[in-house]
Structure 1
Amino acid sequence: MLTEIAQKTRLAAQHLANLPSAAKNTAIEAIATSLESHADEIVAANTKDCEAAANEIAPALYARLKLDATKLKGAIVGVRDVGKLADPVGQIQIHRTLDTGLVLQRASCPVGVLGVIFEARPDAVIQIASLAIKSGNGVILKGGKEAIASCTVLVKAIKAGLAKSEVNPDAIQLLTTRSETSELLKLDRDVDLIIPRGSNEFVKYVQDNTRIPVLGHADGICHLYIDSAADFDRAIAITIDSKTQYPAACNAIETLLIHQSIADEFLPIIIDRLQAHGVEIRLSQLGHEILGHNGDLTIDLAIATDWATEYSDLILAIQIVPDLEAAITHVNTYGSRHTDGIVTENTTTAKIFLDRVDAANVFHNCSTRFSDGFRYGFGAEVGISTQKMPPRGPVGLEGLVTYKYQLTGSGHIAATYTGENAKPFIHRDL
């Protein structure tokens, strides 16, 4: 059954891959319009999901599940932003004459069929569907059981929009049962790329149980380092935003590093501000010793596992480091190559941090919450990749296309260019 769905998706994707930009943009606008017309139904379905999941799932997961009218409106803005982006398909990356009449081109093309598996994130349906259409890909979506009602209505609205365009609605498919997840992971002949979005345990499960290439990140252990040359007001604002603006997000910080030379003054201030926002602190031994001279605060002692934990909640580990080198070492040891930042007025120090921290996103004097496809101007994202090979970081349209080499000749044969009297190649870029 699932094989038939995948094959239908591939046929629709093959047609979609050859549509002109205007047709794809019309389809994306039709999706946005349909989502707006189904807004009340979508919010009602999400309310049903949220009520069923209340007290049954972790707060971080519940926050991701919620899709109210405001969040839906923002997602629809993202759909239209995708429509405004340049078409990533058919871009000529190489145009080269190998010899007279023998011309090589490398052109971007869709990946094919995407399998996107996510937990309680119904807004992912909107982002991924719009990016898939724009990049000429079909997509099979598998949402978490907590979001079944939301995802079902969202896909219904998206398909209704596509039905008014040149894009076959079969390009977007939704799976709803848990057994379909393992079955999807086995479709290496029909699915070209798997994109998991969820907890680190979930992503690792996907990575370990498929032969299909996987694009994603397993952990979101992000850091913020407050340097000795930091502006305190700026450091406080950035720390609070990076931790509390949306603690369930994978780009929220889990560890705060503070230069030892400013810890006497800065540590009590930042702890007071964090606690005012409901943040639970896990503080290193040296931090406790420093606080011993600055009042009687009851703070949990950080243990070894805290430095390697993604809380996705209002919990923050704080470590005191002697210098920049120690900060970089800590980040590169415990980080997940997602997003790490530094707060400093010393541009030389910032440059060293930006160059040496091994992460997909490295920031100076701004919140880690900016590592996001929408905020980067990608319109939306299918996920964030922490792998070394591209695509890396927030993955938008560019991560959903590959390329092919197209060579045109006029009877050329390889034998002409081999042997004692081999003809040389021209290799001239056009």
Structure 2
Amino acid sequence: MSIEQLARDARLASVSLQSVTNEQKNEALLRIKQVLAERKDDIFKANEKDKQLAEEQVKLGKLSGSLFKRLDICNGDKFDTILSGVSDITSLPDPTKKVTMATKVDTDLSLYRITVPVGVLLTIFEARPEVVVNISCLALKSGNAVILKGGKEATFTNAMLANVIQDALASLPESNPIPKTAVQIVETREDISALLDLDRYVDMVVPRGSNSLVKYIQNNTRIPVLGHADGICSVYLDKDGDVSKATRIAVDAKTNYPAACNAAETLLVHQDLLKSDFFTQVAQALIDAQVTLKCDAASLAHLQKQLPASNKLEPSVEEDYHTEFLDHIIAVKVVADVSEAVEHINDHGSKHTDSIITENAATADYFMTRVDAAGCYWNTSTRFADGFRYGFGAEVGVSTNKTHARGPVGLEGLVIYKYRAYGNGNIAGDYGTGKKQFLHDPIAPSDYHV
């Protein structure tokens, strides 16, 4: 099958999905969960094959350790988490067919703005095979068709998961019109290059991966792109912070999952904290968690004096404050005040998520108002920037865009809206000076007729 035919099939599937009920969507999702559980052994075998090949690439220095960690879905409760994620999405409200505006334009002319699916999504991601399930289920719940392209390091797992999902859709009863072509997968870079040209079929691209991947997609398509290139998140320790909170949050933000895009990469420190042991306590906690601190001159001099035996202190360079380390490394910089912290974040950050640690409400408000990011936090870890933690069930990705959707994107980011007008032979020529006048009265929900 040609890529154009595949995209056309996705478009036709998206049209069918426009009229599917929430009950039919949930039936499909629960069937997907059931078949995933039944085919667990097949999925694990495919994942083990990918991991064996990837391990060789890591040894050769051709694949990063962080990407390898994201590949594994066999260990711990990761697979169970994938299955529970499907149930969570099923329990979410249907984001489509919601009235967001209702206006009586005239006595016999009503206008409604109603949420509808975007249409066809193209999702490109690296490692993380669970994305196949998460995105497919979010797409179906929001009434969208999806074309998936995963990284070559997870080829066998991705193909198996997509095949299982298609088999589940194909096994739905005849009363459920969701076609198996609502979820499709492609495998090569050439396929992606071709799809990026098919803006007449594909409505939105959602890249999840490295800076280079996102930049390449943004520069090579006319299709709208929802996503973010980097996750350079900062934690600012204010002079009025609580040292216990600061220590817990800094360690969690950096080490809870260093390979995630919401992990902290920069620690900003108010200069007054060098006059006490506040900063030293936070630094020691990070060092105890095996974090290397790349410090500017002021923080390095302070810590070398306070922690002379540590081998986790290094001088920073300017590039460190623009770097997404995705590892047990954090760049440290001393700032004069919250204003300088905000300035640094807006100059060096990626508009993802940034946090302030302070007990001063006015300072926190200043920070959260002026930092230009999708998420601005007060006394909490940047690791909360996640669709599951936000209660979205799962997320398509994180967007640093300023249009359509921003931050962790769940179901609400996969719908747009259309206007429906219900008239009775009305024509524009009947209205104007000396003619009929528009009413523009709001319609109460109890009087909706859609």
Identity of aligned residues (%): 45
Is the counterpart of residue 31 in structure 1 residue 44 in structure 2? no
Cα deviation for residue 215 of structure 1 reads 0.4
Contact conserved, 1:229 with 1:344, CA < 8 A, in 2? yes
- Partner of 2:271 in structure 1? 260
Offset, 1:96: 1.0
Q: 2:151 maps to what in 1? A: 144
- The 2-side partners of 1:8 and 1:288 are apart by 59
- For structure 1, the residue ranges without an aligned partner over 5 or more in a row are none
Other-structure match for 2:320 = 306
Residue 426 of structure 1 is matched in structure 2 by 439
For the residues of structure 2 that align with 1:317 and 1:401, how far apart are their CA atoms? 38
SS of match in other structure, 2:267:
strand
The worse-fitting range, judged by mean Cα deviation, of 186-195 and 287-296 is 287-296
Equivalent pair of 1:89/1:401 in contact (CA under 8 Å): yes
Q: Note if contact 2:135-2:396 (Cα within 8 Å) is conserved in structure 1.
A: yes
Pairing 1:196–2:203 present: no
State the Cα distance separating 1:270 from its structure 2 match.
2.4
Following superposition, the deviation at residue 292 of structure 1 comes to: 4.5
In the aligned structure 1, how far is the partner of 2:293 from the partner of 2:36?
A: 41
What is the SS of the residue equivalent to 2:265? strand
Q: Distance in 1 between matches of 2:39 and 2:244?
A: 44
Which of residues 399, 403, 423 in structure 2 aligns to 1:385? 399
Amino acid at match of 1:115: L
Pick aligned residue for 1:226 from 227, 230, 237: 237
Amino acid at match of 2:438: F
Counterpart secondary structure, 2:436: coil
CA drift of 1:295 comes to 3.9
User: Equivalent of 1:356, from 359, 370, 380?
Assistant: 370
Alignment of structure 1 residues 310-389 onto 2, 5 Å: 310-389=324-403
Match of 1:249 in 2: 260
Task: Provide the residue aligned with 2:446 in structure 1.
Answer: none
Q: Does 1:414 align with 2:428?
A: yes
Q: TM-score, normalised by structure 1?
A: 0.97
Give the 3 Å change call, closer, same or farther, for CA 347–412 of structure 1 in structure 2. same
- Once the two structures are TM-superposed, the CA of residue 280 in structure 1 deviates from its matched residue by 1.6
Q: 1:180 aligns with which of 191, 197, 209?
A: 191
Give the counterpart of 2:69 among 41, 63, 68.
63
Q: What secondary structure sits across from 2:239 in the alignment?
A: coil
Q: CA deviation at 1:303?
A: 0.6
- Give the TM-score of the pair, scaled to structure 2: 0.93
CA distance in 2, matches of 1:407, 1:16: 22
Q: Which amino acid aligns with 1:32?
A: K
What secondary structure is seen at the aligned counterpart in 2 of 1:404?
strand
Q: What is the CA deviation profile of residues 247-291 of structure 1, one whole-angstrom value per residue up to 9, with x for unaligned ones? A: 000000000011111124133322222222221210011112223
Query: 1:91 matched to which residue of 2?
Result: 98
Aligned partner of residue 186 in structure 1, secondary structure:
coil
**Residues of 2 paired with 1:36 and 1:409: CA distance?**
50
SS in 2 for 1:293: helix
Q: By how many angstroms is 1:242 displaced?
A: 0.4
Aligned to 1:290: 302
Pairing 1:104–2:111 present: yes
Cα distance in 1, alignment partners of residues 235 and 6 from structure 2: 45
Give the aligned length: 429
Question: Do the aligned partners of residues 97 and 295 (structure 1) sit closer, same or farther apart at CA in structure 2, a change above 3 Å counting?
Answer: closer
Report the Cα offset of residue 40 of structure 1: 2.0
Q: In the alignment, is the contact (CA less than 8 A) between 2:300 and 2:314 conserved in 1? A: no
CA contact (8 A) 2:355 2:380 kept: yes
Q: Distance in 1 between matches of 2:404 and 2:265?
A: 25
SS at match of 1:333: helix
**92-101 vs 257-266, which moves further:** 257-266
Q: Structure 1 stretch 76-85 or stretch 248-257: which is displaced more?
A: 76-85
- The alpha-carbon deviation at position 356 of structure 1 amounts to 1.3
Which secondary structure state, in structure 1, belongs to the residue aligned with residue 101 of structure 2?
strand
Shift of 1:109: 0.7
Q: 2-side partners of 1:126 and 1:391: how far apart?
A: 21
Residues 59 and 313 in structure 1, CA contact (< 8 A), matched pair in contact too? no
Instruction: String of CA shifts for 1:349-371, please: whole Å, max 9, x gaps.
Output: 11211111110011111111110
- State the AA in 2 paired with 1:364: W
Rounded Cα–Cα distance in structure 1 between residues aligned with 2:263 and 2:50? 25
Is the 2:129–2:154 contact (alpha carbons within 8 Å) kept by the matching residues of 1? yes
Q: d(CA) in 2 for partners of 1:295 and 1:155?
A: 52
The answer (yes or no) to whether the contact 2:121–2:205 under 8 Å persists in 1 is yes
* 1:2 and 2:3 are equivalent in the alignment: yes
Q: Which amino acid aligns with 1:384?
A: V
Name stretches of at least 5 consecutive residues in structure 2 with no aligned partner: 444-450
Counterpart Cα distance in 1 of 2:258 and 2:305:
30
The letter of the residue matching 2:370 is R
1:41 is matched with 42
RMSD (Å), alpha carbons: 1.2
Task: Tell me by how many angstroms 1:321 deviates.
Answer: 1.1
> 1:197 offset after TM fit, Å?
0.5
Q: Which segment is superposed worse, 158-167 or 24-33?
A: 158-167
Distance 1:161 1:402 in 2: 27
